[in-house]
Amino acid sequence: KAGVTQTPRYLIKTRGQQVTLSCSPISGHRSVSWYQQTPGQGLQFLFEYFSETQRNKGNFPGRFSGRQFSNSRSEMNVSTLELGDSALYLCASSLGQYTGELFFGEGSRLTVL
Amino acid sequence: AQSVTQPDIHITVSEGASLELRCNYSYGATPYLFWYVQSPGQGLQLLLKYFSGDTLVQGIKGFEAEFKRSQSSFNLRKPSVHWSDAAEYFCAVGGNSGYALNFGKGTSLLVTP
């Protein structure tokens, strides 16, 4: 069974640009969550999608957005990039019932110059 | 508001020695508690979780954790550490609002020969 796949794995952008990250969950999983990981702030919850609907949202500015498609694949977008957006963005999938067992991808490493 | 504190940023243990990683949480209701492990360049993997019932929970890779409500703690233990256990360990707390886990800042484990 394939795991959670995130693309791209690494990317470099400049301030002001926008970026889109993709996440393919484990087959059969209907929930996708996104987390931002930085050395200073640690792991912070961005948002969670279930059946194409945003079910939870963290405390991030509106520049951070996401969506989920009918096949459960998810994308997150960050517009008007700032230096502080440099981070590892982790996607996690789960079946959807609240069991707490999140299956994480290896992440997308974003560097903003 | 829910929060998690991992008091130890770094811990060094000798291979074969016992290990205890500390985790304290703050949550108004009965918490859902988790321990995840992250190896370099990898995503997070669930070690164990506590929802209710027996306060001593067993996880993968020989890890266990004990929920102590009176101390608001959920410490992770392993009787004999292996070199392959060197990684970053994260404690997390969640409620019943979905998958918005609140992670601690992590404890980096170094295992010496």
Which segments of B13-56 does DSSP mark as H helices, in order? none
CB atoms within 10 A of CB B90: 25
Most A CBs within 10 Å, among B23, B99, B101, B103, to test the A interface: B99
pLDDT at B97: 58
A53 touches chain B (CB under 8 A): no
**Which has more pLDDT, B53 or A27?**
A27
B104 in contact with A at a CB cutoff of 8 Å? yes
Taking residues A13-23, report their average pLDDT. Answer: 98
| Contact at CB, A94 and B32, closer than 8 angstroms | no
SS (H, E, C) A26-68: CCCCCEEEEEEEECCCEEEEEEEEECCEEEEECCCCCCEEEEE
Q: Give the pLDDT confidence score for residue B20 in this predicted structure.
A: 98
DSSP state at residue B72:
T
Are A77 and A20 spatial neighbours (Cβ–Cβ below 8 Å)?
Answer: yes
The full DSSP string for B94-107 is E-SSSS--EE---E
Q: Measured between CB atoms, does A40 come within 8 Å of chain B? A: no
pLDDT at A43 > cutoff 70? yes
| pLDDT interval class at A100 (50, 70, 90) | low
Q: How do residues B65-83 score in pLDDT, each as one tens digit?
A: 999 999 999 999 999 999 9
Quickly count: other Cβ atoms within 10 Å of residue B79's Cβ. Answer: 11
* Contact residues on chain B for A32, CB-CB shorter than 8 A: none
Q: Which residues of B touch A35 (CB under 8 A)?
A: 103
Distance, in angstroms, between A18 CA and closest chain B CA?
24
- Pairwise CA distance, residues A74 & A49, whole Å: 8
Residue tagged 């707390």 (tokens):
B93
Both structure tokens of A29: 């999983």
Chain B residues in contact with A106 by the CB 8 A cut-off are 41-43
Of residues B43, B46, B49, nearest to A90 (C-beta): B43
End-to-end CA distance of chain B: 41
Task: Tell whether the model's pLDDT for residue A78 goes beyond 90.
Answer: yes
- Give the model confidence (pLDDT) of B4-60 as tens digits: 999 999 999 999 999 999 999 988 777 889 999 999 888 899 999 998 888 999 999
Q: Please give the average per-residue pLDDT across A26-47, as a whole number.
A: 93
